[in-house]
Amino acid sequence: MMLIGCGVYAQQPISSLQKHELFGRAQGTTYTITYYSTVQSISQSSIDSIFNIIDQSMSLYKKDSNISIFNDSKTVKQKLDPHMLKVVKESFRVYRASKGLFDITVMPLVSIWGFGPQKVTDIPDSARILETLKIVGMDKLKLKGNTLIKKVEGVQIDLNGIAQGYTVDALYDFLIENNINDFIVEVGGEIRSHGLKPGKIPFKVLVQRPEMAGEGKSYVLKLENKSITTSGSYEKYREVKNYKFSHHIDPKTGYPLKSQTISVTVLANSAMEADAYDNVFMAMRPDDAISFANAKNIVDIYLMYLEDGEVKEAYSSGFQKYLLTD
């Protein structure tokens, strides 16, 4: 998923370590990798190769990708490559933890509402939505070892709500494997850091305010060995016949979410986890989102929401420890 809302602050190194940057376009968005090392040891081609491998696994825009093959009507079951297997396993975990709010089988709903690879000009009627809901729900999938099985004919999956976070984690692992210890990776606004900048300075991330939230304080967060993603109802939408709707589709009703929440920022140990849960919190009432984050104690969140026409803010009990107060 393309997520907008996190901007990385950069400072010049103050030691013998040199700052190196790699940047470009991939997965329909931009990426930046900043690392500190005595030599430039990571090549652009090695990074591009990682993106290409993951796209071959999970890109809905590649007709020969593994996910496109699984989504073909003729496919009943498929052995998953290691990347797709990790993402599907995490998807099942978050599906259970969120009681179905996170659901990768929304692909048919995403398509009929015009957010898939195929162009759609109208909006679906209630009969088509009800018919489509018959093939939506992760209870209609079974993972047996490394094989994903369709229990109902016509089930299709969309991993865009988690795969970009996984890509950040894959780049993170690649840098660690190549003995890079101080870096920050950003893909489409999804970020993960490791170590510190020279001088033992933590990486800093700005949580931007969407325009509809109006003027107000923007938080700067310290990011030490953590991941952060931001998702919002403002970031991707369609408008048909004066009906404006978000790309966040409710897997239970089949309709775009009508959420009070304008944006949610999630901090987690991995980018894949943060990416998945920002979808969950967008689907929840603000009070329920805060309660869920506090009870689970695996992620911290900051959200902005509308109440009686006013923009309000809320955050989980652990969020304040990330705030830069200098």
Residue 238: pLDDT over 90 = no
pTM tops 0.85: yes
For residue 288, give the nearest of 279, 280, 297, 276 by alpha carbon. 280
The pLDDT value given to residue 190: 95
How far, in Å, CA of 148 to CA of 141, rounded?
7
Sheet holding 219-223, edge to edge: 6-9, 203-207, 219-223
Q: What average pLDDT does the chain have?
A: 89
The least confident of 29-43, 152-166, 227-241 is 227-241
As a whole number, mean pLDDT of residues 233-262 equals 76
Residue 122: pLDDT over 60 = yes
The pLDDT value given to residue 16: 82
Residue 4: pLDDT over 60 = no
The pLDDT value given to residue 247: 77
The pLDDT value given to residue 60: 92
pLDDT tens for 287-300 read 999 999 999 889 99
Alpha helices (H) along the chain: 44-58, 66-71, 82-97, 107-112, 126-133, 163-177, 271-283, 286-296
The pLDDT value given to residue 214: 58
Query: Could you tell me the pLDDT band of residue 236, with boundaries at 50, 70 and 90?
Result: low
The pLDDT value given to residue 237: 56
How far, in Å, CA of 150 to CA of 154, rounded?
8
The pLDDT value given to residue 212: 56
User: What domains are there in the chain, each with its CATH number?
Assistant: 62-150 (1.10.3980.10)
Q: Is 64 exposed, middle or buried (0-12, 13-18, 19+ CB in 10 A)?
A: exposed
For residue 322, give the nearest of 295, 296, 302, 294 by alpha carbon. 302
pLDDT tens for 70-119 read 999 999 999 999 999 999 999 999 999 999 999 999 999 999 998 877 78
Residue 8: pLDDT over 60 = no
Secondary structure (3-state) at 287: helix
Q: Quick one: CA torsion of 146, 140, 235, 2, rounded to 10 degrees? A: 10
How far, in Å, CA of 277 to CA of 14, rounded?
36
Q: For helices 82-97 and 163-177, what crossing angle results, to 10°?
A: 130
As a whole number, mean pLDDT of residues 186-205 equals 95
Secondary structure (3-state) at 295: helix
